[in-house]
Structure 1
Amino acid sequence: MSPRLRSFKPFSRPLLWACLWILALAAVVVASLLPGSDLPQWQVSDKTEHFLAYGLLSAGAVQLFSRRRSLVVVCVLLILLGVLLEFLQGAMGLGRTQDMRDALANGLGVLLGLATMFMPLRDALLRLDGWLFRR
């Protein structure tokens, strides 16, 4: 494996999985910055949406990265991203408001996703990769 990819688990296609995770991250950023009127209205709380989105991003990082240091860095960056996006929502004037409780929900979601590294399914993507792309 390339030295640049050594933080990843031993996937057959590490860049494929990394790109899919980055697309999910981009979707969260775009959804966070769209005007509120352009977003679908779900039957769940806004805080639940934040919690789930960042939890899934963090759990995705657990699926991708083998090194704890890499996971910690990614999770800290996700938390900082959530705070930054809240400030941008308040500054953009597009019908979105800055709400630090959303940033708190983001952070709690990141911690929940990070906790999946202690669960048996922490290597589910690695097993799927092996099944899809038998070496």
Structure 2
Amino acid sequence: MREFRRPHLWLAIWLLMLAAVVVTSLLPARDLPPAPFDGVDKLEHFLAYALLSAYAVMLFARVRAQALAAAGLIALGVALEFAQGALTDSRQADSADALANALGALAGLMLAPAPWASVLLRLDRGHS
């Protein structure tokens, strides 16, 4: 991890974000808001995993840890698609969702060299 003053806080936020993705991925379809248009769920998948991966880039200092986080997110996305098909009666596994998850995770990882990768560190230290 980066040299945060409050590493447990920033890690806990990421873990809560992960938990939110797991829970919403396994909720019954009737408990989810209706999609405003076809295909919006793919965009939601992409953005959620891009955000998770980008946050991991801000959280972890080393490229290896960032890449492992992205790989773990891709595995999580695939596993959740299988779980939707096997554990829910109102959701189904969708390979296009798994692809959107993976592309989002890779997009977040690709942003690692950008200056914003230190945003959490600056927030932690009280700088803007």
Please state which band the TM-score falls in when normalised by the shorter chain.
Answer: over 0.9
Mapped pair 1:90 → 2:82: no
Unpaired stretches in structure 1, ≥5 consecutive residues? 1-7
Unpaired stretches in structure 2, ≥5 consecutive residues? none
Distance 1:122 1:68 in 2: 12
Give the SS at the match of 1:131. coil
Corresponding residue for residue 26 of structure 2:
33
- Aligned pair count reads 125
**1:94 CA drift (Å):** 2.5
**1:42 CA drift (Å):** 4.3
Distance 1:86 1:63 in 2: 27
The correspondence of residues 1-135 of structure 1 with structure 2, limited to 5 A, is: 8-43=1-36, 45-131=40-126
| Cα deviations by residue, 1:102-121 (Å, 9 ceiling, x for unpaired) | 00000000011111212111
Distance 1:41 1:121 in 2: 33
1:72 maps to a residue whose letter is A
Between 111-120 and 14-23, the greater mean CA deviation after superposition: 111-120
Distance 2:58 2:88 in 1: 36
8 Å CA contact 1:34–1:94 kept in 2: the answer is no
Between 122-131 and 39-48, the greater mean CA deviation after superposition: 39-48
Give the TM-score, by structure 2 length.
Answer: 0.93
8 Å CA contact 2:26–2:88 kept in 1: the answer is no
Distance 2:64 2:30 in 1: 39
1:13 maps to a residue whose letter is R
8 Å CA contact 1:54–1:106 kept in 2: the answer is yes
